Amino acid sequence: MKTFEEMEGYIREGHHSFLISGGLNGVGEIPYTDALLKKLGFLKRKYDLQYNFHIGFPLNFVHDFRDIADVVSFDFFSDSETMKKIYGIDRDPLQQIEVMRSLGAFSVPHITIGIDCGKITHEYKSIEILSRYFDSIVLNVFIPTFGTTYESCNPPPVDEVTAIFEYAKKLFKVVALGCMQPRGSYRSILQGELEDIVDVIVKPVNKSGDHFRGCCAFLLKQISQGVMKYV
């Protein structure tokens, strides 16, 4: 967690885009206060900043983000049982989408492939549902994390992950491999399989070509709106 003083230090160093996030409360929301949003709005106007907001899984319209969020990123589950298993909360998939569309900001859905201990569960259905409402998507890949219930699980097989990306590319204008990817040889192999499929690869192993600094959601917005060509 960074303070506003630390944030202004990053601004002085030349950073002008920020991911605004935090921990979920007991009902699955990130509890942004009016005072916090007011301060962020002040800094945005003063320094011409860009914000990518994570907002968790709100049940209802929480804030009007159109004047402060350049992008809103959200995780999506088409299977409420999988979501309950992972986060301990239950949401109707279409309600999730309606809340995001009500926020007034450009929204980018995220799916973590293999989030249920490396198994493929809701991913294909989630992609199909999201494609009815959005033209860009970020696909991450499950990483076993020490100290969690799934620390001993393995990432999903690369061929299964690749197949999901191929399916997504048939339905979405812009598809990105997001920042969550297993390290080492897995990452190298996966990126090699995806380089001719996806439009954006975050944390590329081969760093030749164009580079974009900032959350990939900002780049997806620019590509979707025709401001920047595909990379």
230 assigned to some structural domain: no
CB-count burial class (<10 Å; 0-12, 13-18, 19+) for 73: buried
231 assigned to some structural domain: no
- How many other CB atoms are found less than 10 A from the CB of residue 151? 9
User: For position 55, what pLDDT does the model report?
Assistant: 87
Domain count, the chain: 1
Q: Which residue has the tokens 């299977």?
A: 79
Could you tell me where the beta strands, DSSP code E, fall in the chain?
Answer: 17-20, 50-54, 71-75, 107-113, 136-141, 174-177, 200-201
Residue pair 59/27 in contact (Cβ under 8 Å)? The answer is: yes
19 assigned to some structural domain: yes
185 assigned to some structural domain: yes
Interval 8-61: pLDDT, tens: 999 999 999 999 998 888 888 888 888 999 999 999 999 999 999 998 898 886
- Domain of 201, CATH number, reads 3.20.20.70
229 assigned to some structural domain: no
User: For position 208, what pLDDT does the model report?
Assistant: 67
Beta-bridge mates of residue 20? 53
87 assigned to some structural domain: yes
Residues present in the chain in total: 231
Could you tell me where the beta strands, DSSP code E, fall in 135-187?
Answer: 136-141, 174-177
Residue pair 212/201 in contact (Cβ under 8 Å)? The answer is: no
93 assigned to some structural domain: yes
216 assigned to some structural domain: yes
Structural domain of 97: 4-224
**Number of alpha helices (DSSP H) and beta strands (DSSP E) in the chain:** 8, 7
Residue pair 130/109 in contact (Cβ under 8 Å)? The answer is: yes
- Dist. CA 154–CA 173, nearest whole Å: 30
At CA 100, angle to CA 98 and CA 105, rounded to 5? 130
Q: Which two tokens stand for residue 151?
A: 């620390």
**Cα-to-chain-centroid distance, residue 150:** 21
Q: Which residue positions in the chain have pLDDT lower than 70? A: 1, 61-62, 208-211, 226-231
